[in-house]
Amino acid sequence: MQIITKNIFCKEEELTLTNQRVFYWKRKETLVLSDLHIGKSAHFRKHGIPIPDNVLKKDLNRLKQLIIYFNPKTVIVVGDLFHAEFNSDIETFKIWILEFKNINFELIIGNHDRLSADLYMDLNIKIYRPNKIEDNLCFVHDNIKIDENYFTVSGHTHPGVLIKGKAKQKIKLPCFQVTNNQLILPAFSLFTGLNTSNCPENCINYAFTDAAIFTI
């Protein structure tokens, strides 16, 4: 897995975007991601849709490599860590998270995070509802209204861009959407669609591939 980075400044805070769907806040030693949707693949299999059982394992392996690379003290998930009811994928995550007992895991509750508070406690994940404010940044799952006093970090919309080439060729790529007051994270899980129709006003799209990050 190749990790490509690009530093940007938001409200005087330096944030390191990556082509692996996360950003790193170096000053706070914090890794930030959104929409992991643990349990989604098992949920589909339960309802007769043949989704491979290694989908989650690939996502968690990518996250593990990012944790090793950045060595954060804290990992913040801005919503939809989980997808549905308790299922076998969550058991897989329980085993995975035990590798990182020295890291603080925090979750901003998203619309899919419907599991019991006891489970979060059992996993040693600190939860926030509806947001977490730290210095100049406000972490929330779905950014409905901008607070001019903070730079808002959110997820939920699974942003992407549609790039048109010659001969009617088209390609969709995930992206970070950044304005003067907000950053919308791409969905971390590879088992998600891309929303190319929702773009905030005056937005810069930082799209990425396996080998590059570029501005659109």
DSSP assignment string, 62-77: HHHHHHHHH--SEEEE
- Give the tens place of pLDDT for each residue, 24-79: 999 999 999 999 988 765 444 554 545 556 778 899 999 999 999 999 999 999 99
What is the model's pLDDT at position 24? 98
pTM, two decimals, is: 0.92
Q: Are 71 and 28 in contact (CB under 8 A)?
A: no
What is the model's pLDDT at position 4? 98
What is the model's pLDDT at position 44? 47
* Domain architecture of the chain: domains with CATH: 5-152 (3.60.21)
Q: Are 26 and 7 in contact (CB under 8 A)?
A: no
Q: Tokens in use for 55?
A: 């989908």
What is the model's pLDDT at position 185? 98
All residue ranges of the chain with pLDDT < 70 are 40-53, 83-87, 167
What is the model's pLDDT at position 87? 64
* Beta-ladder partners of 13: 10
Q: Tokens in use for 40?
A: 């989604």
What is the model's pLDDT at position 169? 80
What is the model's pLDDT at position 40? 60
What is the model's pLDDT at position 49? 47
Q: Are 31 and 39 in contact (CB under 8 A)?
A: no
Give the number of residues written for the chain: 216
